[in-house]
Amino acid sequence: MYLKSLCDMHPYLAAAGHNNYTKSLALFIPRMQDLERTHPEIYRAFMSGLFPVRRTDGAWCGMFTDLFIEQVLMAGLKSSGGLTRGRGFNESTRLLFLLSRPTCSEISQSVFKIAGLSPDDENGHRDLTASRINRDTSDIRKLVEVFNERGVFSSSFTKLVSLSTGLIADESVNAEDARSVGDNILQSMVGETVSAYSFSQKNQAKTLASAVYVKTPSGGQIELDPQHLYQRLLLMGVGDIPLAELLGYELCSIPAALFDNYMRMRTGDKAELIHHLVKLVPESVVSTLPTTGLRYVIDGGGLLHKFAWPKNSTYSEICALYVRHVRSSYANATVVFDGYHGPSAKDEAHRRRASNDVGATVSVTKEMRLTMSKKAFLGNASNKQALIYLLADEMVRTGIHVEHAPGDADYKICQTARAHTTTSPVAVVAEDSDVFQLLVHHADPAASNVYMVAAKRTVCATTIKRRVDVQLSESLLFLHAISGCDTTSRPHGIGKVGVLKKYAALAESAATFMASESSKVALEKAGERALLIMYGSQAHDLKTARLQKFQTKVATAAGYVPPEKLPPTSDAARFHSHRVFLQVQAWKGNDLSPEEWGWARSSTGFIPVQMSEPAAPAQLLRNIRCNCGGRCDTRSCTCFKNGLQCTPACGQCKGIACQNSPQVDREDFDDAADDETNDTANNKC
């Protein structure tokens, strides 16, 4: 069983890039299989039960020597009273600790005997106890429920999908074929010596981690943590390339100022917008609404999230909850629902909110029952749209007016409310800050009041429109979009309040983005100018601003300067400006194609375009990693030549099997046995 497990795991270790384990097993497995002929006495001893180490006499309680060392010797080493807990770690204390283990074991056995206990009286393996079986059964049930909710076994996707992040694998990912990939690597090792054979990273299995990479001048891909990549490129470039030119590149696989390490757009605190405007006009907060002639406009998206759904209830019963609430709480109400009819610029926000909790597509009829959590159900756009249609039919049947937006309902909610203000005051029931800033911008000061009714307070948007500077209210859509909303990134370290306070300085850029006829060149210049103002820079372009910001941070920071602390490059800012213009025009009722304005179509909908230029100069991208097969201790190694330590991105050594790898702490001993391969350099695989 032990040898079979090693044989089964061998291809997977090779495919995963565990090169030392792969070489070691290529030598170890044949020797163990030939043990009966080469060492018959040892073979007979092993077969008689002396191969595993036993802590008890219970069934299935034997373990291999390296596992025993980890679970017993190393556990004692690190636990209370061990050598790593204040007793020192020199050679004499290690010898004393190791050689005293048999005596300590005898003492332990004697204590058990005196107490009338025995460590060896277990009835079988602990995994066979009733409590462990019940826990395992419960865990399996939870896994099955999660798989069923997310449609793991009924999904139409033909590519790998991460259950935790929702990331979709591209064509290069072949982790599902790890066994065949590993078999090919093992076949290529036959007849080669351990010292002569070199592994190639391109032959290993490609995982979802390859989604974060930087392209080399030759078209290859290097997978490296964005923060680590930034530090390496910066260190390698300083001295050879002028710093001003170097910082004209992102020096990172993503625009860190606009995207996080998961390649998601940075999100802003949209509620800051409401708080600031209310602070400017405190009399806009009201305690009561008008009692005569008031009409309600309800955000259907917010309404869906208002109630918890009873378990195992029918969809008819769920719809009845909302119908009763609207009829009993709001007179003369119009409910406006979002539309989910294909990809849109809000796909990124939908993926972020659903996280990894997206349910399978189900049939939504009155009689069908809910079989998953509410979050998982609403995370599936098809399910959500089907429920909206069912709920809308029930509302219309009971006399509630319903309207459907073709996509995002924010603009339609605002226009519906504005149309009613010609005859009566309107209360918009919503929690979304996007709706609030639309109401303020589009409000007619000469018409009846329009109120936004949220859970915490009610604010009169018309009062704010009458009190604030006209320049601020006219620029509000732009200010909100460029500082981060559902379809745009928040520049790292830039808050909405700070942007709103600079509305006068941003007025010229705002006018360009508000004009539907603006060209892309004009928008890109206006967007870059706006970012410079937001970052408080007096520079004439972002390249110079990045240099100045970097120099300031280096002079004042206690540690290294992370990439997100710098403004984005002009290339990344260009696509950010495109997305800002797309959103501003959508809030004005102008529908534009996302693919022409900073978005690209994918199998999961639209994804933001991050940048189009290389992450660094070509000469640096060639030197991100070494690919030498030696000890990496001479100037022939790219990393050593540039004064850098090797990393897992390096082609052969992986930052482990060389003299230029990072120093390992004494406690990092778990994989020490993996490095013993070099002792068999002249053996054949």
pLDDT higher than threshold 70 for residue 216:
no
We report the CATH number of the domain holding residue 352 as 3.40.50.1010
CA atoms of 510 and 471, how far apart (whole Å): 10
Over residues 191-212, mean pLDDT: 79
In-domain check, residue 584: no
At 666 the pLDDT is 36
- Checking if the pLDDT of 661 tops 70, the result is yes
Given a contact cutoff of 8 angstroms between Cβ atoms, the answer to whether 439 and 433 are in contact is no
**pLDDT tier at 538, thresholds 50, 70, 90:** very high
In a domain, 351, yes or no: yes
Residue ranges of alpha helices (H) inside 622-676 are 638-641
Task: Report pLDDT for 425.
Answer: 94
Own/partner pairs, 523-528, CB within 8 angstroms, 24+ separation: 523/577, 523/578, 523/581, 524/573, 524/574, 524/577, 524/578, 526/577, 527/482, 527/573, 527/574, 527/576, 527/577, 527/580, 528/570, 528/573, 528/574, 528/577
Give all strands (DSSP E) within 454-523, no chain letters: 458-460
**pLDDT the model gives residue 166:** 58
Residue 61 tokens read as: 């309680």
Whether residue 670 is predicted with pLDDT greater than 50 in this model: the reply is: no
Q: How far apart are CA 250 and CA 215, in angstroms?
A: 13
Q: Specify which residues 314 forms β-bridges with.
A: 369
The whole-number pLDDT of residue 86 equals: 62
| 668 within domain boundaries | no
Within a domain: 354? yes
- Which residue range is the domain that position 292 belongs to? 284-467
| 416 within a domain of the structure (yes/no) | yes
Specify the pLDDT at position 157: 62
| Residue 217 pLDDT | 47
Which range (151-165, 222-236, 304-318, 365-379) has the least confidence? Answer: 222-236
Instruction: Give the chain's domain count.
Output: 1
Residue 98 is predicted with a pLDDT of 79
Query: Is residue 562's pLDDT more than 60?
Result: yes
Q: Minimal CA–CA distance to 306: which of 287, 340, 290, 329?
A: 329
Residue 275 has pLDDT above 70, yes or no: yes
Position 545 in a domain: no
Residue 595 near residue 566 (C-beta atoms within 8 A) = no
> Are the CB atoms for 212 and 169 separated by under 8 Å?
no
